[in-house]
Amino acid sequence: MRIGHGYDVHAFDASRPLILGGMEIPHDFGLKGHSDADVLLHTITDSILGALALGDIGKFFPDTDEKFKDADSRVLLGEVVAMMHEKGYEIGNIDAVVIAERPKLRGYIDDMRENVAALLKTDMSNVNIKATTSEKLGFTGREEGIASEAVVLLQKQEAK
């Protein structure tokens, strides 16, 4: 078994839609980024790369490469999941948190879990996603952006 951790932050950008967990969430602001800025999927991607000791998302999908401009983060995560399978691992379970003062995410969490489970090619029962405010403290509390963290456990693929 291998454990990995991911952390990411994106600043708000009023000109973009808010994409989180592979879906658009109604809000006044989206997030700034080279890609679609799906901070939750980036965190999950980094946690898997961390568990495999392969580095981080920017190493494989640099924000200096035009190829990844406005990239769909579901595609980037899909590539990393393929690398994980190539190395003989599958998801044991994953636990992620989104730190956002607004919008209220509770109503979208199960749809996000379903998206993430499909991308990770695992059962929804292996995917937990939480949301918290930071009680108006710090950059998330001032609504300057959204942060996310995840931990993942990978296990050796079961023989088919």
Ligand X SMILES: C[C@@]1(CO)OP(=O)(O)OP(=O)(O)OC[C@H]1O
Ligand Y SMILES: Nc1ccn([C@@H]2O[C@H](COP(=O)(O)O)[C@@H](O)[C@H]2O)c(=O)n1
Site for ligand X (CB under 6 A): which residue of 49, 71, 129, 151? 71
- For ligand X (CB under 6 A), the number of binding residues is 13
What is the token pair recorded at 31?
Answer: 């997030």
The site string for ligand X over 11-50 (x = CB under 6 A, - otherwise) reads: ----------------------xxx-x----x--------
Which of the stretches 1-9, 14-22, 23-31, 130-138 binds ligand Y when contact is defined by CB under 6 A? 130-138
Site for ligand X (CB under 6 A): which residue of 63, 110, 123, 144? 63
Secondary structure in 3-state letters for 66-103: HHHCCCCHHHHHHHHHHHHHHCCEEEEEEEEEEECCCC
Number of other CB atoms surrounding residue 119 within 10 Å: 21
Q: Among candidates 1, 9, 95, 118, which has minimal Cα distance to 44?
A: 95
The distance of closest approach from Cβ of residue 47 to ligand X in the complex, given in angstroms and rounded to an integer, is 13
Separation CA 28–CA 13 (nearest Å): 9
Separation CA 116–CA 109 (nearest Å): 10
113's CB contacts (< 8 A; 6+ apart) are 21, 124, 127, 128, 129
The distance of closest approach from Cβ of residue 37 to ligand X in the complex, given in angstroms and rounded to an integer, is 5
Over its C-alpha atoms, the chain yields an Rg (Å, rounded) of 15
The distance of closest approach from Cβ of residue 110 to ligand X in the complex, given in angstroms and rounded to an integer, is 25
Residue among 44 and 126 whose Cβ is closer to ligand X: 44
Q: Is 57 annotated as a binding residue?
A: yes
Binding-site residues from annotation: 8-10, 34-35, 42, 56-58, 61-65, 132-135, 139, 142
Residues at the site binding ligand Y, with contacts judged by CB under 6 A = 100, 104-106, 131-133
